[in-house]
Amino acid sequence: MVANIKSRILSVGTYVPDTVLTNEHFESYLETTDEWIASRTGIRERRVVGKENPMSAADMGCRAARVALERAGIAAADIDGIIVATFTPDNIFPSTACMMQHDLGCTGAFAFDISAACAGFTYALTVANNMIVSGQAKTMLVVGTEITSKTLDWNDRGTCILFGDGAGVVVLQADESGRRDRGILSCHLSADGSMGNLLMLPLWGEERFLKMKGNEVFKHAVRMMADASVKAAEMAGFKIEDIDFLVPHQANIRIVQSVAEQLAVPLDKVVINVEKYGNTSSASIPLALEEAWLDGRVKEGSKLLFVGVGGGFTIGSAVCVI
């Protein structure tokens, strides 16, 4: 055990496929409208891996990882571990993380996937942080990569309009400065398997589509994300109002707005980009983080609160000072 080490996010990188599906696309064959989708979900368009440009979750994760590594100035050979959160792995095994380890040339890294659906990024970040603070690794890639488009029933208007494909990666490294006021200050995970049937993706059988009881998921997601946010803030020694930016899982604008309202966080302190990408599951928090980092909202010293909820149910939150 290495005493007093904290882990820091050095950089973030993302990748989204080129193919854009706008809400108008769904109007062309489903009983739905751009107005309905935008007003109920905040989503205007999403990216999908098209047939013309086939990619795996590992391919997308590698593209995002190369950007993150370059921004951090870290060589692939210096990565000690790769954790991939995904509900769309290419195989049961080899894991997406092992495929990425090979493609990236992270020859010295251990690699594994975790399954926590849309809370995947917060789960992976928590595990990676714990491995770093316990001295098992110094520099890690935390990856969320999803091809949600291959899990959807494109005739189910209640689900197919919500999701998109994408990948996001952060480079997490031990901060050897001994500073206690920056890096990952807290992580909080929980789960509630009793409601697993509200949001599920069967692996076998005829109906291998993502299925959801939308309005029930909505209700629980808001409560779970608000509670988890308060827990992570408290564990970090902060009040919610001390946080500079809430960077939530981008499930749906109404979920995000309701969470912000419950927490009394003004919307200008919430990073939202669901209108461009839809729900990209484990990739959504790094996609939002990158946007706020690149446009200058997030900078050194920013206090961020990540929070996500996903099928399972899984719930995760973390406070990070950049």
Residue closer to ligand COA (CB basis): 84 or 251 = 251
Which DSSP state fits 76? Answer: G
Q: Select which of 118, 160, 187, 320 is catalytic.
A: 118
In whole angstroms, the minimum distance from the beta carbon of 72 to ligand COA comes to 29
CA distance 266 to 252: 17
- 25 labelled catalytic: no
CA distance 216 to 296: 36
- DSSP assignments along 194-237, one per residue: GGGGGEE--SSSS--S-EE-HHHHHHHHHHHHHHHHHHHHHHTT
- Tell me: does residue 274 bind ligand COA (CB under 6 A): no
Say whether 238 sits in a helix, a strand or coil: coil
Stretches 10-18, 32-40, 69-77, 168-176: which one binds ligand COA (CB under 6 A)? 32-40
Nearest of 317, 322, 319, 262 to residue 123 by alpha carbon: 317
How many residues touch ligand COA under the rule CB under 6 A: the total is 22
- 249 labelled catalytic: yes
- Phi, psi of 3, rounded to the nearest 5 degrees: -70, 145
CA distance 175 to 103: 27
**Contacts (CB under 6 A) with ligand COA, residues 45-84:** none
Nearest of 213, 179, 184 to residue 196 by alpha carbon: 213
List 25, 40, 66, 71, residue binding ligand COA (CB under 6 A): 40
List 288, 309, 318, 320, residue binding ligand COA (CB under 6 A): 309
- Tell me: does residue 310 bind ligand COA (CB under 6 A): yes
List 99, 255, 263, 287, residue binding ligand COA (CB under 6 A): 255
In whole angstroms, the minimum distance from the beta carbon of 268 to ligand COA comes to 23
- Note whether 63 and 100 are within 8 A (CB): no
List 11, 14, 41, 317, residue binding ligand COA (CB under 6 A): 41
List 19, 32, 136, 190, residue binding ligand COA (CB under 6 A): 32
Q: What is the DSSP pairing of strand 81-85 with strand 139-146? A: parallel
Residue closer to ligand COA (CB basis): 7 or 281 = 281
Stretches 42-50, 51-59, 75-83, 207-215: which one binds ligand COA (CB under 6 A)? 207-215
Site string for ligand COA, 278-307 (x = CB under 6 A): -x----------------------------
- 118 labelled catalytic: yes
Q: Select which of 23, 129, 252, 279 is catalytic.
A: 279
Q: CA 264, 267, 268: angle at the middle one, nearest 5?
A: 125
Cβ atoms within 10 Å of 22's Cβ, excluding its own = 13
Stretches 59-67, 144-152, 237-245, 248-256: which one binds ligand COA (CB under 6 A)? 248-256
List 189, 198, 225, 251, residue binding ligand COA (CB under 6 A): 251
In whole angstroms, the minimum distance from the beta carbon of 36 to ligand COA comes to 4
Q: Is the dihedral of CA 293, 295, 298, 304 positive or negative?
A: negative
118: left (phi over 0), alpha (psi -120 to 50) or beta: alpha
Q: What is the DSSP pairing of strand 166-175 with strand 183-191? A: unpaired
Tokens of 44: 């205007």
> Which residue in the block uniquely carries the two structure tokens 């769309």?
88
List 108, 158, 196, 202, residue binding ligand COA (CB under 6 A): 158
Which residues contribute to the site for ligand COA (CB under 6 A)?
32, 36-37, 40-41, 118, 157-158, 161-162, 212, 214-215, 217-218, 221, 251-252, 255, 279, 309-310
Active-site residue list: 118, 249, 279
